Amino acid sequence: MERSSILKWILFGLSILLIVAAFLFYQHIISYLIVAFLIAYIISPLVNLAEKYQIKRTVSILVIYIIIALLLAIFFNVIIPQIIEQMIDLVHSLNEVVQEHDDINLRVLGFDGIANIIDSIESRFPQLEIHRQISFTLDEAKFNSVLNQIPLFFKSVINVASFLIVVPVIVFFILKDERKFFHYIFSCIGNRYFEFSLHLFEKIETSFGRFFRALLLETLLVTIMSIAGLLILRIPYAIVLGLIVGLANPIKYFGPFIGAVPTLLIILLGPTPDIYILYAGIMFLIVQQIDSLILFPWLVGKSMNMHPLWVLLTVIAGGYAFGILGMLFAVPVVFLIKVIVEVSHKSLKKFEII
């Protein structure tokens, strides 16, 4: 073996070691970086648009930060206290129920309407034993284990605080020096792979960017429609509940059901008459029909070339692996990998690398 090629292999090995070492060193902040890149990716088009009108990147980023801070201030001062109050009430009432009754069932929780419906079903099909199943699900140990989780949540508040401070700083620098960053990366690439990497990056950015922005727009529109519907029905906390519906919406197939649960709980536990469950259900059904018949095919459908069965299996697998967040991010992540594989294969062939 020639000396130069031995040297090349040694350098290659050292580079790999360096990458692994860097990965181990920075492993705890990788989640910060991922979130920061995601936020920067969403905000970036706005900063680029402002730059077209000769507004400096630093200025436009700061303006966007001020707007976000104002929105968050409104959110935390007006909406969050109401939610916390409602949550504390809910936990207290559940606690009382758990302590007072050995056997928990729907009547104890105040869901008389549903209990009556189940009664009538059970009278026809006694073998179903629905009440016994529900009592089993709602047993004391399970409630207590859920309640014990709450202090752990507050322990993680410190982590959340550091996250909330560090992430905006990272986002700021990513947005400000976006071009320098990419310029540096592409400058480091050897001549043989220079054009290939530019082509690959552009194709991935175009395909995934189109999909991701379409998904965001779809989520925004579903959120607005849900909030509007809940406001019309005069259901309490319409804005927050609509936000939950909207945020759960990107979870394909399961999202609409997951998103509707808090609304139904608020109607059942609050002063709103139970019949509003039906109205809310109809409203959600209309929103979902508009989404699945018009918005999704129009916005996301064209850019996402994935078979519906594959999407379904991906969502289920994501749920098993990482819970609700897994369900939310499984499809975009799998789609991104699919795009990278497809585009890389095409580009590698075009540039005669394989």
Partner 1 sequence: MPIIPKPKKKRTDVDMELVVFLKGLSLFSTLTKGERINLSRFIYQRDYKKDEIIVKKGYPNVVFYIVQNGELLIYLEHGEEQIELRRVGEKEFFGEIGIFLEEDRTASVKATMDSTLLAIPTTEFQKFIDQYPRAAAKILFNMGQVLASNILKLNNKLQTMKIEK
Residues near partner 1, by CB under 8 A: 48, 51-52, 179-180, 183, 186-187, 191, 194-195, 198-199, 202, 347, 350-352
Please classify residue 74 by burial: count the beta carbons closer than 10 Å to its beta carbon, then call 0-12 exposed, 13-18 middle and 19+ buried: exposed
Contact assessment for residue 141 and residue 133, using Cβ atoms and an 8 Å cutoff: no
Residue 275's contacts (CB-CB under 8 Å, 6 or more residues apart) are none
Tokens matching residue 26: 């920075």
Task: Supply the minimum distance, in Å, between the C-beta of residue 52 and partner 1.
Answer: 6
| C-beta of 44 vs 86, nearer to partner 1 | 44
| C-beta of 12 vs 194, nearer to partner 1 | 194
| C-beta of 92 vs 179, nearer to partner 1 | 179
Task: Supply the minimum distance, in Å, between the C-beta of residue 179 and partner 1.
Answer: 6
Contact assessment for residue 241 and residue 327, using Cβ atoms and an 8 Å cutoff: no
Please classify residue 245 by burial: count the beta carbons closer than 10 Å to its beta carbon, then call 0-12 exposed, 13-18 middle and 19+ buried: buried
Residue 189's contacts (CB-CB under 8 Å, 6 or more residues apart) are 197
Among 334, 330, 40, 41, CA closest to 210 = 41
Cα–Cα distance measured from residue 177 to residue 171, given in angstroms and rounded to the nearest whole number:
10
Task: Supply the minimum distance, in Å, between the C-beta of residue 61 and partner 1.
Answer: 16
Contact assessment for residue 170 and residue 33, using Cβ atoms and an 8 Å cutoff: yes
Task: Supply the minimum distance, in Å, between the C-beta of residue 196 and partner 1.
Answer: 9
Cα–Cα distance measured from residue 175 to residue 57, given in angstroms and rounded to the nearest whole number:
8
| C-beta of 199 vs 338, nearer to partner 1 | 199
Task: Supply the minimum distance, in Å, between the C-beta of residue 45 and partner 1.
Answer: 11
Tokens matching residue 135: 């009592």
| C-beta of 139 vs 195, nearer to partner 1 | 195
| C-beta of 184 vs 322, nearer to partner 1 | 184
Position 166, amino acid: V
Tokens matching residue 5: 């090629």
Task: Supply the minimum distance, in Å, between the C-beta of residue 195 and partner 1.
Answer: 5
| C-beta of 44 vs 292, nearer to partner 1 | 44
Task: Supply the minimum distance, in Å, between the C-beta of residue 4 and partner 1.
Answer: 14
